[in-house]
């Protein structure tokens, strides 16, 4: 029996899927599926392919996966994409993995899309699957200040804090770090309306968690390696007295190179646009947290090796300069001794 045209019903043989009313399939079956399963269902038959193309199904999935996409501004931008919410989901799920080493900024600067006037951030933070922060943020990308200044997107004002609705279970430094590593999840999707592309530039869980003993704050770092560049989201949080409420103090995104230098707005825009165009999605979101952490550790290893090579070159240059200086000094002394001898 052809799997495209039939479904198995317990004890009653087979029944053609066309016998089911489309409203039943759409309302009672497809609405229960997650994004990857819905995409697979669309490949099963031409009828399902047509039903799965319904933008409302994908809008529901996007809003459920990323509540910030329910913002009307985001909704209008997503509607302009080639396949609406389905395009957005395909671009943003799962996390972004760059297909190759990114070229240098100097070589890639000409790739900047001149029509890009803004980048839209769609950010969702959860603690123990409870939504803490859901926010959209527009960044103007045409101003001279943006193009020349270090690139950084701050979602919260300096004095603004956001509290978690879920009870905080972290007590003690080690427990606190473990709690956040396992239960504080984040998604940061950047949308470029000019190119009609989007990408998720954050690991689902932190690649590192650092406790600052002086301030008692904890900084969770989320990262995506883009060849020789690193896109980093920093989340600074603290627990109230009694350890029962988790507060977010800072949520920011920036891009740095292998030397640890924060890129300018123009440089970062080139890297982010290139990643949207050339990135690929591998595996299921959440299943490759260890892989993302390994890529981050590998990036740090390469960064450390580059720094060590630079230090060796500088030491060698210092030795050469010292030797040259000593040689010149000795030669000068010899000349003086010969002159006055």
Return the higher-pLDDT residue of 205 and 44.
205
Q: Taking residues 194-217, what's their average pLDDT?
A: 88
CA distance 72 to 67: 12
pLDDT digits (tens, 9 = 90+) for 21-68: 777 777 778 888 888 888 888 888 888 888 888 999 999 999 999 999
Least confident of 214-228, 260-274, 301-315: 301-315
- The residues pairing with 257 across neighbouring beta strands, listed in sequence order, are 229
What pTM did the predictor assign?
A: 0.80
Least confident of 81-90, 130-139, 288-297, 316-325: 288-297
pLDDT at 66: 95
pLDDT tops 80 at residue 113: no
pLDDT tops 80 at residue 220: yes
Query: Can you give the residue ranges of every domain in the chain?
Result: 23-92, 118-303
Q: Taking residues 266-277, what's their average pLDDT?
A: 90
pLDDT tops 60 at residue 10: no
CA distance 275 to 197: 10
pLDDT at 151: 95
pLDDT tops 50 at residue 328: yes
Return the higher-pLDDT residue of 286 and 252.
252
- DSSP per residue, 83-141: TTHHHHHHHHSS--EESSPPPPHHHHGGGS-TT--EEEEEEEEEETTEEEEEEEEEEE-
Kindly report the backbone phi and psi dihedral angles of residue 131, in degrees, each rounded to the nearest multiple of 5, phi listed first: -70, 125
pLDDT bracket for residue 114 (50, 70, 90):
low
pLDDT at 148: 92
Return the higher-pLDDT residue of 329 and 135.
135
pLDDT at 45: 80
Residue 302: CB partners within 8 Å, gap ≥ 6?
228, 258
239: left (phi over 0), alpha (psi -120 to 50) or beta: beta
pLDDT bracket for residue 239 (50, 70, 90):
low
pLDDT at 340: 77
pLDDT bracket for residue 254 (50, 70, 90):
very high
For Cα atoms 251, 253, 255, give the angle at the middle one, nearest 5 degrees.
155
pLDDT-above-70 percentage for the chain: 81
pLDDT digits (tens, 9 = 90+) for 273-300: 988 887 555 444 445 567 788 888 888 8
Return the higher-pLDDT residue of 23 and 218.
218
**Token output for 263:** 């890129």
Least confident of 165-169, 208-212, 255-259: 165-169
Mean of the per-residue pLDDT values for the chain?
A: 81
Kindly report the backbone phi and psi dihedral angles of residue 163, in degrees, each rounded to the nearest multiple of 5, phi listed first: -100, 145
**Pair 256, 250: CB distance under 8 Å:** no
Alpha-carbon torsion (157, 158, 159, 165), positive or negative = positive
Neighbour-count burial of 194, counting CB atoms closer than 10 A to its CB (0-12 exposed, 13-18 middle, 19+ buried): middle
Q: Tally the C-alpha atoms within 13 A of residue 288's C-alpha that lie toward its C-beta.
A: 18
């Amino acid at each position: 029996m052809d799997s495209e045209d039939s479904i198995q019903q317990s004890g009653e043989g087979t029944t053609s899927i066309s016998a089911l009313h489309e409203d039943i399939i759409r309302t009672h079956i497809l609405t229960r599926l997650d994004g990857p399963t819905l995409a697979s269902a669309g490949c099963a038959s031409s009828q399902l392919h047509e039903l799965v193309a319904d933008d409302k199904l994908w809008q529901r999935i996007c809003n459920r996966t990323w509540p910030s996409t329910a913002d009307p501004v985001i909704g209008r931008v997503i509607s302009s994409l080639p396949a609406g919410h389905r395009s957005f989901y395909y671009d943003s799920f799962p996390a972004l993995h760059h297909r190759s080493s990114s070229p240098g900024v100097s070589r890639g600067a000409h790739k900047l899309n001149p029509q890009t006037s803004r980048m839209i951030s769609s950010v969702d933070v959860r603690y123990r699957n409870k939504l803490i922060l859901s926010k959209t943020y527009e960044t103007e990308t045409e101003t001279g200040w943006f193009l020349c200044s270090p690139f950084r997107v701050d979602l919260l004002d300096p004095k603004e804090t956001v509290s978690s609705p879920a009870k905080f279970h972290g007590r003690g430094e080690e427990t606190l770090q473990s709690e956040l590593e396992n239960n504080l999840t984040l998604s940061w999707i950047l949308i470029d309306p000019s190119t009609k592309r989007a990408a998720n530039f954050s690991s689902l869980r932190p690649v590192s968690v650092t406790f600052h003993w002086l301030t008692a704050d904890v900084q969770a770092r989320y990262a995506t390696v883009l060849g020789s560049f690193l896109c980093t989201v920093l989340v600074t949080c603290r627990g109230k007295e009694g350890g029962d409420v988790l507060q977010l103090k800072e949520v920011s995104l920036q891009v740095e190179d292998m030397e640890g230098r924060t890129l300018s707005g123009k440089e970062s825009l080139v890297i982010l646009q290139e990643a949207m165009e050339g990135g690929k999605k591998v595996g299921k979101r959440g299943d490759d947290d260890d892989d993302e952490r390994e890529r981050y550790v590998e990036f740090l290893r390469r960064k450390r090796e580059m720094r060590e090579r630079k230090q060796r070159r500088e030491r060698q240059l210092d030795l050469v300069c010292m030797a040259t200086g000593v040689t010149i000094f000795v030669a000068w002394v010899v000349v003086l001794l010969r002159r006055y001898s």
